[in-house]
Amino acid sequence: MKQKEHWEKVYSTKPVERLGWYELHLQTSLNWIRELNMAGDAPIIDVGGGASTLVDDLLHEGFRCVTVMDLSAKALSLAKARLGERAKRVIWLEGDITRVDLPAHHYELWHDRAVFHFLTAPEQRERYRTSLLKALKPGGHLIMATFAPEAPPKCSGLPVRRYDVELLQNTLGAEFRPMRHQKELHVTPSGVEQMYLYCLFRRN
């Protein structure tokens, strides 16, 4: 599959710290997650988590039911290697979020930074929504970070759909109530500015 090849190649050819979306810590996500005051056994999924350090930070915060899913086996293996023994405390899923079969109404938090925006075809977004509606508990939360309208039209060399809050809410559907949002300027390791939109939604 073309998308998978792209991501396997990206993670195999550059050190993680040189990837355009790299951040030492996903601080906004982490702050918002802390403020949700979830129990330590709350199931959390980081969709397209790649090699990000959010999982390290969630373990450090005491979360015991963290799942990281990603299309790229290489990305997951980098995260596992970094975590060492602690990797055993995480559920790792390799797959495509638009096709994966996740447990029903299981997760209290669904986190997605820089994944949904790659879904440029309406049918891909609809399949993503199907996975989300199946797997996120009613009353659960969704943190989504996408490129904002002023960001470049491509991320990692792939075209993206850029969102403001209204477009993101309309795309996700009436089941999701926006709770907060903020824009955040990310500067890639090579100095390119990318404006992100972070949104927190609560599922009705």
Residues engaged in binding ligand SAM (CB under 6 A): 3, 7, 21, 48-50, 52, 70-72, 75, 96-98, 113-115, 118, 155-156
Alpha carbons within 13 A on the beta-carbon side of 30: 16
Least Cβ distance, residue 32 to ligand SAM (angstroms) = 14
- Judged by beta carbon, residue 95 or residue 178, the one nearer ligand SAM is 95
Instruction: Write down the least CB distance from residue 26 to ligand SAM, Å.
Output: 6
Closest contact distance (angstroms) between CB of 13 and ligand SAM is 13
Q: Which is nearer to ligand SAM, 118 or 201 (CB)?
A: 118
Residues 16, 77 contacting (CB under 8 angstroms): no
Q: Which of 77, 83, 73 is nearest to 53 (CA)?
A: 83
Q: How far is the CB of 139 from ligand SAM (least distance, A)?
A: 24
- H helices within the chain, ranges in order? 2-13, 27-35, 54-60, 73-83, 122-135, 165-172
For residue 106, the one-letter residue type is H
Asked if residue 127 lies in contact with residue 159, where contact means CB atoms within 8 angstroms, the answer is: no
165 alpha carbon, distance to own chain's centre = 17
Minimum CB separation of residue 178 from ligand SAM in Å reads 20
β-bridge pairing 107-113 and 44-47 = parallel
Which residue, 48 or 140, is less far from ligand SAM as judged by CB?
48
Smaller CB distance to ligand SAM: residue 31 or 156?
A: 156
Cβ proximity to ligand SAM, 43 vs 48, nearer residue: 48
